[in-house]
Structure 1
Amino acid sequence: MHSMTGYGRGHSTCAGVKLAVEIQSVNKRQIDLAINLPSALAASEADVRAAVTRRVHRGRLTVSVVADPGAAGPVVKINEPLAHAYLKAFKGLQASLGLTGEVSLDTLVRLPGVIEGANEARVSPALKTALTGAIESALDQLMAMRAKEGAHLQRDLLKRARLVHSILTKVKRLRPQAVARYRSNLRDRIQKLEIHVNMDDERLAKEVAFFAERSDFSEEVTRLESHLDQFQVTCRQPDAIGRTLEFIGQEIGRELNTLSAKANDVEISQLVVQAKAELDKIREQIQNVE
């Protein structure tokens, strides 16, 4: 089990350029990736995205990459071959259209690619490899933190699932007592009303039987126990299980609501309220599970 919150840093150096990568992740149902790259590495965005999504499947992630040119500082480079090509093309167009005028230096230096800084050079294979290494280092730290937090979440979720299971065991034990209490309460009400009815009257027996049938929640308890078993098995799986746990949590909540409606007994209702309170805490924790 992995948490969706985490942080990682990675560093690498290539030809004097120092790369620093930071990755932060927080909760989100789907994967949402924001990548901030220097212009020199903009072409590598798809590679960065692929590297991250290979290892992370849910959450909102922010990847920030900083490139420091080092002691030499930024270097401005003039792409003379490109400038000559632009000028030649302009003169050819001028001759073709029969136009006059001069192409100024100011015009040339504003054209794309004529002036490039160290941070705007093309990504060399070596720089690309260095970036990949820094990304993987940051991901290693991120995943380690998510795994550590996930282990805490797993322990808490399993503990609460076992607690709900123990509450259900108490509910099952109280079921026969609830029917007996209903029969006793019914007798007391009749006696208080001073109605002369034979306590073994068939009508009373039918009323008690009707109550027992109406309040029979054995199927709900069976399904709840099955859902809780499945929940605990899923918690121990290493995959991205957050959505599965959310679904199982919804099913547990639905069965608890039905059980609560059928119970018609104070003690059982109190136990169901306790189970629902634990389920609310479980659902809150699940929101952070990948």
Structure 2
Amino acid sequence: MIKSMTSFGRAQNEDELNSCFSIEMKSVNHRYLDINIRMPRNMLSLEEKIRNIISKRLNRGKVDVFINYKNYGNGTGKINLNMNLAKEYYECLRQIQSELNIIDDISVSKIAKFPEVITLEEPQEDLDIIFNKISPLIESALNLMEEMRIREGEKLKDDILLKVNTIEGLVEEIEKVADNVPKVYKKKLEERLDELLSGVDLDESRIALEVAVLADKAAIDEEITRLRSHLSQMKSTLDLNESVGRKLDFIIQEMNREANTIASKSTDISMTNKIIEVKNIIEKIREQVQNIE
């Protein structure tokens, strides 16, 4: 089953009265599985567990995970006042006032806004309870991503198969042109020699040798056979029920190698045009394969 690496999933526990967890996950194509998690600092120790859940479901892709936590409060927080720090701030303000001779606007509210003067100490939460709450949400978000990956993957598969069939048709045309190249070359060579050596008997064995040398240099039978084999492998790989992105990428490289060899041996303009078209289609397939898991 072909899966795209582009996907998005979101889940939230809306039944909680005192707190709410929401999870958003998105992924794009990447050579390997790269997971980036952003979550509240008090939950950082759960990162490895969250990674394990995701890595069991996804094989490739750059995955960004955003975990948000809202605590609506239940009166359990403790307010701390750092009076010594407040006094130091006050003395500093008095010194500024005295030395710069400015209006005294020192107030309690101003001092209270300085960092660390008044802090709220949240109670230590049980991370096991938190993990039990967010793990089902992660699975739900992954389910949505999975559905999206499958839908996008099916579209990619259909389009790639269409392009593979087009290449197969072009390969047949190239093979027909290649088979006729020696005959065309022989005819042109005879016409050219007859024009240059009018009235002189032509050495048929020499002409046959020249044609044979050209035919050997321009022979693309092996390349055509390998290219067809790669096209067949691509079709069968697209039907596998596993992660096939890397395998498809390798097949594309081999297809491109054979197409380049055929292009280098081409001595016919129509064959050259057709193999250029094949290379263009291979490049389009390669771009799509980059997004397959």
Q: Same fold (TM over 0.5)?
A: yes
| Residues 1:188 and 1:49: Cα distance change in structure 2 (over 3 Å) | same
1:219 aligns with 2:222: yes
The amino acid of 2:131's aligned partner reads K
Distance 1:223 1:187 in 2: 34
Distance 1:58 1:283 in 2: 17
Equivalent in 262, 268, 275 of residue 272 of structure 1 = 275
- 5 Å-filtered alignment, 1:17-166, equals 17-70=19-72, 72=73, 75-77=76-78, 116-117=121-122, 121-125=125-129, 127-166=130-169
CA-CA distance at 1:194 after TM superposition: 3.4
Q: Superposition RMSD on alpha carbons, in Å?
A: 2.2
Taking only the aligned residue pairs, the percentage that are identical comes to 31
Structure 2 alignment gaps of length 5 or more: 81-115
| Residues 1:272 and 1:74: Cα distance change in structure 2 (over 3 Å) | farther
Q: Secondary structure at the match of 2:53?
A: helix
Alpha-carbon displacement from aligned partner over 1:64-84 (angstroms, at most 9, x marks no partner): 0011123x36842489xxxxx
Q: Which runs of 4+ in 1 moved over 3 A?
A: 72-75, 194-200
CA-CA distance at 1:183 after TM superposition: 0.8
Match of 1:9 in 2: 10
Alpha-carbon displacement from aligned partner over 1:216-246 (angstroms, at most 9, x marks no partner): 1101100000011001111122311111111
Q: How many residues align?
A: 254
Aligned residues of 1:27 and 1:59 also touching (Cα < 8 A): yes
Q: Secondary structure at the match of 2:243?
A: coil
Match of 2:172 in 1: 169
CA-CA distance at 1:283 after TM superposition: 0.7
Q: Secondary structure at the match of 1:32?
A: strand
Distance 2:202 2:142 in 1: 74
1:281 aligns with 2:245: no
Match of 2:100 in 1: none
CA-CA distance at 1:188 after TM superposition: 2.1
The amino acid of 2:125's aligned partner reads A
| Residues 1:10 and 1:210: Cα distance change in structure 2 (over 3 Å) | same
Alpha-carbon displacement from aligned partner over 1:75-110 (angstroms, at most 9, x marks no partner): 42489xxxxxxxxxxxxxxxxxxxxxxxxxxxxxx9
Distance 1:182 1:189 in 2: 10
1:243 aligns with 2:246: yes
The amino acid of 1:117's aligned partner reads E
Equivalent in 254, 259, 263 of residue 266 of structure 2 = 263
CA-CA distance at 1:196 after TM superposition: 4.6
1:188 aligns with 2:181: no
| Residues 1:270 and 1:41: Cα distance change in structure 2 (over 3 Å) | same
| Residues 1:21 and 1:184: Cα distance change in structure 2 (over 3 Å) | same
CA-CA distance at 1:200 after TM superposition: 5.8
TM-score (norm 2): 0.81
